[in-house]
């Protein structure tokens, strides 16, 4: 009798955790969306800053202009902050994506475990002839 209760309690915990996971995954998805949007905005601003610096550069060749533009941007505290924030965003996106993938893997594993447990219970009921293969009680029992 205690094994049956432990089995049910453990299954209930699995189901409860399975029910929690979509909310956690959804929150990570929202975070990822916000982080990616901020990254796109910063990348757009960085591209515009690069274009302005390139156009303002005085070099004669393309290489000279690029070098001068890069030197000018490297001296800018705004550019350095922007680049640092882009690196932070990349790390945060990678971390959130990893967490989301781990939760999705856990969700699939829990679902598989619950299905397996129910299959075991159904097979046991069929073996004990508590159910027919059609899911109905056998004729002559309790009717």
Predicted confidence (pLDDT) per residue in 62-99, tens digit? 999 999 999 999 999 999 999 999 999 999 999 999 99
Q: How confident is the model at residue 118 (pLDDT cuts 50, 70, 90)?
A: confident
Question: Any alpha helices (H) in the chain, and if so which ranges?
Answer: 2-56, 62-74, 77-127
Q: Pick the more confident residue, 71 or 6.
A: 71
Cα 112 to its chain centre, rounded Å, is: 19
Tokens representing residue 56 in the block: 């303002």
Angle formed by the axes of helices 2-56 and 77-127, to 10°?
Answer: 160
Provide the mean pLDDT of the chain: 87
Whole-prediction pTM: 0.74
Alpha carbon separation from 122 to 16, 54, 118, 130 (Å, rounded): 21, 71, 6, 9
- The residue extents of the domains of the chain are 2-127
């Amino acid at each position: 009798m205690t094994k049956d209760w432990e089995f049910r309690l453990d299954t209930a915990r699995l189901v409860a955790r399975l029910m929690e996971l979509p909310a956690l995954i959804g929150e990570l998805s929202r975070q990822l969306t916000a982080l990616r949007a901020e990254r796109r905005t910063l990348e757009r601003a960085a591209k515009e800053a690069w274009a302005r610096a390139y156009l303002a550069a005085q070099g004669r060749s393309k290489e000279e202009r690029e070098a001068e533009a890069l030197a000018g941007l490297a001296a800018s505290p705004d550019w350095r902050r922007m680049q640092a924030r882009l690196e932070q965003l990349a790390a945060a996106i990678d971390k959130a994506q990893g967490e989301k993938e781990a939760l999705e893997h856990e969700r699939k594993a829990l679902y598989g475990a619950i299905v397996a447990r129910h299959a075991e219970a159904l097979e046991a009921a069929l073996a004990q002839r508590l159910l027919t293969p059609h899911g109905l009680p056998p004729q002559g029992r309790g009717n």
